[in-house]
């Protein structure tokens, strides 16, 4: 798949061939939804927990005798009817939200969304991303923001993918509506949360080596 290649000045510099097994996959909405739901479910922390009547302290004896008091009969103060008693149908931390999704399904879903990004021109590929003059230069958010401003990216959310370059992460993490992630850690939630995807030729190679299902 032929795709335009840009330089840091935002000018089209050439053509890059994107791997078909990553960027030419037809979309299956049901599969993408299933993988996204499973990822969000697996991140849930089950912390809310209420005690039922068997876990509440006290209530060992009958509050008052069965008959003759004029009051309703009760057998224990641990009843959900009493203040301080157990809770009926409250949240319990035994509930399991985890969902298992085969690794191959996760990879294919990511490739489907990447293919849609490429088809809709929401993928921007740079020949290189070196916003700093040399290795000793401190990462500057201002420089990185200026590079992004020159690229064919509208004023919308974008995700910057990098490979083995901590300076890019430090310079990009504080830019508004911008996420930063290593290419090898790309996941379906990040792809769905950000409209544009910015990476380099090296990032494309890293994506191919990580997510390709081709043997």
Measure the CA–CA gap between 169 and 165, rounded to whole angstroms.
7
Same domain, yes or no: 86 and 178? no
Domain that holds residue 119: 2-44+100-211
Give the pLDDT band (50/70/90) at residue 86.
Answer: very high
Q: Is the confidence at residue 206, as pLDDT, over 80?
A: yes
Please tell me which residue, 130 or 209, carries the higher pLDDT value: 209
Considering 96, 131, 165, which residue would you say is the last residue of a domain? 96
pLDDT for res 137: 65
Q: Which residues of 41-75 are buried (b: 16+ CB within 10 A; e: fewer)?
A: eeeeeeeeeeeebeebeebeeeeeeeeeeeeeeee
Residues 175, 194, single domain; the answer is yes
Higher pLDDT, 143 or 165: 143
Verify that 150 and 83 share a domain, yes or no. Answer: no
pLDDT tens across 25-75, in order?
999 999 999 999 999 999 988 899 999 999 999 888 999 999 999 999 999
Nearest to 204 by CA among 164, 142, 161: 161
Lowest mean pLDDT among 13-22, 129-138, 182-191: 129-138
Amino acid 135: pLDDT: 53
208: CB partners within 8 A, 6+ apart: 19, 21, 22
Is residue 25 domain-shared with residue 125, that is, in the same domain?
yes
Residue 136 pLDDT: 52
DSSP labels, 115-163: HHHHHTT-EEEES----SSSTTSPP-HHHHHHHHHHSS--SS-EEEEES
One domain for residues 164 and 84: no
Domains held by the chain: number: 2
Kindly give, in sequence order, each residue whose CB lies less than 8 Å from that of residue 159, ignoring residues fewer than 6 positions away. Answer: 178, 179, 180, 181, 190, 191, 193, 194, 196, 197, 198
- pLDDT for position 59: 85
Give percent of the chain above pLDDT 70: 96
Is it the case that residue 174 has pLDDT exceeding 70?
Answer: yes
The mean pLDDT of 133-156, rounded to a whole number, is: 82
Co-location of 36 and 52 in the same domain: no
């Amino acid at each position: 798949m032929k795709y335009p290649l840009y330089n840091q000045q935002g000018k089209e510099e050439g053509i890059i061939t994107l791997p078909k097994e990553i960027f030419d996959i037809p979309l299956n909405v049901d599969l993408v939804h299933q993988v996204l739901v499973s990822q969000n479910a697996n991140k849930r922390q089950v912390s809310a927990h209420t005690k039922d009547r068997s876990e509440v302290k006290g209530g060992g004896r009958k509050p008052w005798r069965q008959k003759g008091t004029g009051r309703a009969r009760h057998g224990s103060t641990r009843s959900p009817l009493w203040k301080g008693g157990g809770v009926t149908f409250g949240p319990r931390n035994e509930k399991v939200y985890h969902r298992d999704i085969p690794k191959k399904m996760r990879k294919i879903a990511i490739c489907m969304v990447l293919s849609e990004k490429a088809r809709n021109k929401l993928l921007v590929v740079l020949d290189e991303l070196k916003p700093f003059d040399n290795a000793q230069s401190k990462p500057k958010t201002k420089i990185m923001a200026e590079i992004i401003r020159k690229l064919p990216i509208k004023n919308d959310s974008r995700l910057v993918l990098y490979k083995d370059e901590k300076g890019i992460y430090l310079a990009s993490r504080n830019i508004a509506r911008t996420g930063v992630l290593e290419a090898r850690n790309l996941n379906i939630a990040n792809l769905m949360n950000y409209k544009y995807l910015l990476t380099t030729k090296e990032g494309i190679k890293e994506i191919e080596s990580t997510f390709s299902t081709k043997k």
